[in-house]
C-alpha cells in the first residue's frame, strides 16, 4: 500500500524538533575545540578529543535504530528515544561549559570535560536519529526528497542560531575572555539558551507527530512486524547503494571532521595571526568563526532549494561536493575576516548535499527491506567511521603539513574533492533529485 501524501505542515512537524537538536549539535561542533583549547589542550592532541563524538554515534545510533524498530508505546515508536536523548542533552549542556569553573585540578578538568562530551554526543545522537527514521517510516518516495529538504532547512536554521550565539552574547555585553582554563561567559550562556530551545522544540514534535500503530505501519512499509536480525546479517543483505553512498560519505565526513577540529585556529592564524587561546584575538576569531559557520548554514539553506531543480542527482551531488572542497582550500588564502565569507558559502553547498542526498538515495533503496531504523542506524557508521579514522590521523597529518592548522583546511578540500569523484559509482536514474 502506498503511503499517503502528507501536507507541508505534516512534513514540517516531522522534523521541527531537529531545529533544537541541531542548535545543540552546532554548539558542540563549533565550540568543542575552543573549549578544550581554553582548558589547555595541545593542538596536536586536539583531534583525539573528536574521536568521542563519532564513536558514540556509531554505537548509539544502531542501538536506537534496532530497539525502536521493535518498540511500540502509546507515545510512538521513535519518539520515546527522541525525548530521552533530548532530556539528557539538556542536562549535559548545562554542565560541559562549566568544566573549568568547578575548582578541579587541571587533569580532572580535562577528564570531566571528556566525560561530558561523551554524554553530550551520546544524547544528541539518540535525539537526532529518530527524525531520520520518522521520514523513512511515514513519507512516500515521491515526497521523500522534499521531506529531507525540509529537514535540511531546519537543520541549517538551527545551526545558524547555535553558531552565532557566542557572537551575539558578546555583542550584548557578556564576557568573551576569561581567566586561563575557564570558558568565557559568552560560550556558557550559549549552551544554556540552546538547552532551553532544544527541549521546547522536542516537546512540540512530541505533541504534533502521531506515529502509525503496528498494523498500519506494516501495511504502508510493505513488511510484517520485523523479527530480530543481527547487524551482520543486515549488512550482508544491504543493497549496493548502501555501500556506494558509504564510500562517498567516507571522504566527506573526514573533511568536515578536520574543519570542526582546526578551523578556529586556522581562522585565528590566517586573519588574527595568533593561536594563543588566552588572547583576545583568538577568542574574537572563535566568535567570528561561529558567524562564518552560520553563513555556511545560510548558504546550505539556499543551495538546498536549488538541489531539487537538478534533473540528475549524481551531477547535483558531485557539483555540491566540488564547490565545498574549493571552499575549504580557499580558507588559508583569505586574510581578511570578511573575505572568509566566500569559502564558507561554498562549503555550505557541500554541506547541503551531505545532509539531504545520501538519505534520499539510501532510504529509497531500502524500501521493502524492513528494519528501516536498524539500517539507518548502521548507515550512520558511514558518518562516524571516517571521523574516527580522521581523528586518529589528525595529529600526524598536522605535523606532516608543517604544524599549521590553516593547511589542514587544504587537506579537507582534497578529501571533499575525492568525495565528489566517488559519486560516479552511484547509479544513474532513480532515485533522483526530483523525487
3-state secondary structure of 91: helix
Q: Is the pLDDT reported for residue 85 higher than 70?
A: yes
Q: In this predicted structure, what is the pLDDT of residue 112?
A: 84
Q: Work out the number of other CB atoms within 10 angstroms of the CB of residue 210.
A: 11
Q: In this predicted structure, what is the pLDDT of residue 290?
A: 93
Q: Is the pLDDT reported for residue 327 higher than 90?
A: yes
Q: In this predicted structure, what is the pLDDT of residue 29?
A: 84
| pLDDT per residue as tens digits for the range 214-270 | 777 777 666 544 556 666 777 777 777 888 888 999 999 999 999 999 999 999 999
Helical H segments across 271-380, by residue range: 280-306, 313-330, 341-365, 372-379
Q: In this predicted structure, what is the pLDDT of residue 368?
A: 62
Q: Is the pLDDT reported for residue 134 higher than 60?
A: yes
3-state secondary structure of 420: helix
Best CA proximity match to 134, nearest among 183, 205, 49: 205
Cα four-point dihedral sign 191, 189, 193, 171: negative
Q: What's the pLDDT band for 369 if we cut at 50, 70, 90?
A: low
Helical H segments across 209-312, by residue range: 214-221, 231-237, 240-267, 280-306
Q: In this predicted structure, what is the pLDDT of residue 231?
A: 64
The percentage of the chain sitting over the pLDDT mark of 70, rounded to a whole number, equals: 92
Q: Is the pLDDT reported for residue 170 higher than 90?
A: yes
Q: In this predicted structure, what is the pLDDT of residue 372?
A: 65
Map out the domains of the chain as residue ranges: 8-425
Q: In this predicted structure, what is the pLDDT of residue 186?
A: 92
Q: Is the pLDDT reported for residue 172 higher than 80?
A: yes
DSSP 270: I
Angle between helices 185-208 and 79-95 (to 10 degrees): 170
DSSP β-bridge partners for residue 76: 73
| pLDDT per residue as tens digits for the range 7-65 | 888 889 888 888 999 999 899 888 888 888 888 888 888 888 888 777 776 777 667 76
Quick one: cell of 118? 561523551
3-state secondary structure of 73: strand
Q: In this predicted structure, what is the pLDDT of residue 329?
A: 96
Identify which has the larger pLDDT, 49 or 107: 49
| pLDDT per residue as tens digits for the range 346-357 | 999 999 899 878
| pLDDT per residue as tens digits for the range 178-205 | 777 788 899 999 999 999 999 999 899 8
Best CA proximity match to 112, nearest among 123, 122, 101: 101
Give yes or no for a cis peptide into 431 (omega within 30° of 0).
yes
Quick one: cell of 246? 558509504
Best CA proximity match to 50, nearest among 382, 394, 403: 394
Q: Tell me which fold the domain 8-425 belongs to.
A: Growth Hormone; Chain: A; (1.20.1250)
Exposed/middle/buried for 174, CB within 10 Å: 0-12, 13-18, 19+? middle
User: CA of 95: how far to CAs of 2, 88, 239, 277, in Å?
Assistant: 46, 11, 42, 21
User: CA of 326: how far to CAs of 152, 217, 296, in Å?
Assistant: 22, 44, 14
Amino acid at each position: 500500500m502506498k503511503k499517503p501524501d502528507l501536507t507541508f505542515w505534516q512534513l514540517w512537524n516531522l522534523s521541527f524538533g531537529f531545529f533544537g537538536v541541531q542548535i545543540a549539535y552546532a554548539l558542540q561542533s563549533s565550540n568543542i575545540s575552543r573549549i578544550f583549547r581554553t582548558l589547555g589542550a595541545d593542538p596536536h592532541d586536539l583531534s583525539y578529543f573528536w574521536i568521542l563524538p563519532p564513536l558514540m554515534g556509531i554505537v548509539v545510533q544502531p542501538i536506537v535504530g534496532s530497539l525502536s524498530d521493535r518498540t511500540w508505546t502509546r507515545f510512538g515508536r521513535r519518539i520515546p528515544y527522541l525525548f530521552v536523548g533530548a532530556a539528557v542533552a539538556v542536562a549535559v549542556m548545562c554542565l560541559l561549559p562549566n568544566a573549568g569553573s568547578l575548582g578541579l585540578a587541571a587533569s580532572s578538568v580535562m577528564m570531566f570535560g571528556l566525560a561530558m562530551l561523551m554524554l553530550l554526543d551520546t544524547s544528541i545522537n539518540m535525539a537526532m536519529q529518530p527524525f531520520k527514521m520518522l521520514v523513512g517510516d511515514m513519507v512516500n518516495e515521491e515526497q521523500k526528497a522534499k521531506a529531507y529538504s525540509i529537514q535540511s532547512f531546519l537543520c541549517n536554521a538551527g545551526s545558524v542560531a547555535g553558531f552565532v550565539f557566542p557572537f551575539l552574547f558578546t555583542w550584548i555585553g557578556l564576557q568573551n575572555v576569561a581567566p586561563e582554563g575557564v570558558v568565557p561567559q559568552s560560550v556558557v550562556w550559549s549552551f544554556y539558551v540552546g538547552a532551553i530551545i532544544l527541549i521546547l522544540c522536542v516537546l512540540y514534535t512530541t505533541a504534533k507527530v502521531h506515529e502509525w500503530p503496528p498494523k498500519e505501519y506494516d501495511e504502508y512499509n510493505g513488511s510484517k512486524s520485523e523479527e530480530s536480525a543481527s547487524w551482520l546479517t543486515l549488512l550482508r543483505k544491504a543493497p549496493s547503494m548502501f555501500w556506494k553512498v558509504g564510500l562517498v560519505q567516507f571522504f566527506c565526513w573526514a573533511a568536515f571532521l578536520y574543519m570542526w577540529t582546526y578551523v578556529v585556529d586556522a581562522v585565528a592564524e590566517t586573519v588574527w595571526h595568533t593561536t594563543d587561546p588566552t588572547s583576545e584575538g583568538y577568542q574574537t576569531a572563535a566568535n567570528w568563526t561561529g558567524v562564518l559557520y552560520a553563513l555556511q548554514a545560510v548558504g546550505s539553506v539556499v543551495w538546498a532549494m536549488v538541489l531539487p531543480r537538478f534533473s540528475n542527482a549524481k551531477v547535483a551531488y558531485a557539483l555540491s561536493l566540488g564547490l565545498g572542497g574549493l571552499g575549504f582550500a580557499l580558507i588559508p588564502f583569505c586574510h581578511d575576516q570578511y573575505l572568509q565569507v566566500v569559502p564558507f558559502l561554498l562549503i555550505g553547498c557541500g554541506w547541503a548535499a551531505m545532509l539531504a542526498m545520501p538519505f534520499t538515495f539510501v532510504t529509497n533503496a531500502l524500501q521493502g527491506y524492513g528494519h528501516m531504523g536498524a539500517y539507518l542506524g548502521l548507515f550512520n557508521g558511514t558518518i562516524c567511521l571516517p571521523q574516527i579514522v580522521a581523528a586518529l590521523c589528525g595529529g600526524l597529518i598536522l605535523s606532516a603539513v608543517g604544524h599549521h592548522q590553516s593547511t589542514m583546511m587544504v587537506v579537507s578540500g582534497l578529501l571533499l574533492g575525492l568525495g565528489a569523484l566517488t559519486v560516479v559509482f552511484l547509479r544513474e536514474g532513480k532515485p533522483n533529485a526530483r523525487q
